Amino acid sequence: MTALPASATGVVTIDLGAIAANWQALAKLVSPAECGAVVKADAYGLGAGRVIPALQSAGCRTFFVATQPEALQARALARSATIYVLDGLLPGAGEDLIAAAAIPVLSNGEAIREWSALAKAKDVRLPAAIQIDSGLNRLGLDESALSAIMTDGEMLSWLDLKLIMSHLACADDPDDAKNAAQLAAFRRLSSISLPAPLSLAASDGLMLSRDFHFDLVRPGYALYGGQAFKGGATPVRPVVKAEARILQVREVPDGATVGYSATYSAKGTRRIATVAAGYADGLFRHLSAGDGESGGQVSIDGRFAPIVGRVSMDLITVDVTDVPTGSVGRGEMACLIGPDLPIEAVGAAAGTIGYEVLTSLGRRFHRVYVNGGE
């Protein structure tokens, strides 16, 4: 492995082999249904430019992105893949989608009619996915909108319907009654539609039961090592490690305060390490810990060190009094995400979810990709 640049304040290590293995494990779990991959938001912040080729080598043929620029990038990396755009067709943006050979997920009647009109004007059938709403009330056609669309045969004849999909609201919790309700709604509504392959489940939904797999599943988070499903372990392994440099270690006397607004005061003499990672690097300000509060932590040489005081833009201060002095020198690394600090735990400490931790992580940090097969 190449040495870390001397000026790197932090490093995010991304295990491409683990991403490939995670996709294969999920593909096996859901077979004979197909396993796609959601690579929106730059593959959840991990770098679509590296993640998409790794998934393609693993066997993935269907990708979901959120936006047209993401589709263009994915297309350049995966020439023959099927690429769906979850945000669908923005008014007037049809040509841009065609330029990316991307398939919009059409979620309302207006978008469906606009895409069909564009097909007619070009005198070609255009591929489309239709999203129906099964209870999330976010994107998708409700029953009356779907019924109205399905009566317009001429308009539909311009569409090559590749997928009918919907999205679950509570699939992380296997005991939530909404799962069965949405499953029933999806079955009923998809039967009103023209026949096409069906897709309902993301990372958590695919863990509920085979009933939720249909023809295609759409995991994102689980591919990146995330454990969204609360009913048991998803068969994936961690992908990301994030570390940042210790810039300085100081002794703070009893009663002295640390950080902005002096929210923390030392109880006895403490050793405080200042680490080069802050909220601009995805360490949320909610990880701060004033007096009597518990916040986030880092790990140094396998020992936890709590964040004390406010998280600032570029820095955190951690109490390393209990960490052996040998491992906390200037330039040493503090681990922010790793085997003993999973993204879910960091998310919980910050009052958010692992997804937000992942997509916010380490934009200023050096990136290292390992096990990429080259």
Ligand X SMILES: *Cc1c(COP(=O)(O)O)cnc(C)c1O
Q: How far apart are CA 311 and CA 238, in angstroms?
A: 26
- Binding to ligand X (CB under 6 A) within 4-43 occurs at 38, 40
Choose which of 104, 127, 135, 219 interacts with ligand X (CB under 6 A).
Answer: 219
C-beta closer to ligand X: residue 185 or 228: 228
Binding status of residue 127 toward ligand X by CB under 6 A: no
Contact of 208 with 169, CB cutoff 8 Å: no
C-beta closer to ligand X: residue 86 or 118: 86
Binding status of residue 167 toward ligand X by CB under 6 A: yes
C-beta closer to ligand X: residue 134 or 299: 134
The site string for ligand X over 195-214 (x = CB under 6 A, - otherwise) reads -------xxx----------
Tokens at residue 158, please?
């311009």
DSSP labels for 117-167?
Answer: HHHHHHTS-EEEEEEB-SS--SSSB-HHHHHHHHT-HHHHTTEEEEEEE--
**Residue 40 among the catalytic residues:** yes
Binding status of residue 112 toward ligand X by CB under 6 A: no
Tokens at residue 346, please?
């960091």
Binding status of residue 86 toward ligand X by CB under 6 A: yes
Choose which of 84, 115, 158, 221 interacts with ligand X (CB under 6 A).
Answer: 221
**Residue 241 among the catalytic residues:** no
Contact of 16 with 373, CB cutoff 8 Å: yes
Contact of 140 with 167, CB cutoff 8 Å: yes
Active-site residue, selected from the candidate residues 84, 260, 264, 355: 260
Q: How far apart are CA 282 and CA 244, in angstroms?
A: 12
Strand 240-252 with 126-131, pairing: unpaired
C-beta closer to ligand X: residue 218 or 241: 218
Q: Which residues bind ligand X (CB under 6 A)?
A: 38, 40, 86, 167, 202-204, 218-222, 228
> Which amino acids are annotated catalytic?
40, 260
